[in-house]
Structure 1
Amino acid sequence: MTTISETIDDPDLLEKLGLDGSTALTAYTFTKGDKSITIYSDLSADEVDFNFV
């Protein structure tokens, strides 16, 4: 898992997430083989428990 704190300047993405741009987000990127998924969260890593099979 790669964790990156980033600022998102994409107004369409912020609108889809229901955010106004003032919330700090963390992007969690999970990769398996040649596939990856990125999950954006306003929670810190110690508040999140990811379980994947």
Structure 2
Amino acid sequence: MDDSAILYADWNTRALRHATAGHLPSVVNRGRKKVGFTTPEDAWFGKVA
């Protein structure tokens, strides 16, 4: 893929947004807010803190 598939006109992940345009609400597809969360890797891999 060329660079325009990733970043185009100040929008990132262009290819993914284009692919999901008919399947997701526009508020989700065109959203710019990134939401992160922590994962319980210690529990998953049996580590003790």
Q: Same fold (TM over 0.5)?
A: no
Structure with the larger helix share: 2
Greater relative contact order (CA < 8 Å, ≥ 6 in sequence): 1
Q: TM-score scaled by structure 2?
A: 0.29
Structure with the larger strand share: 1
Larger radius of gyration: 2
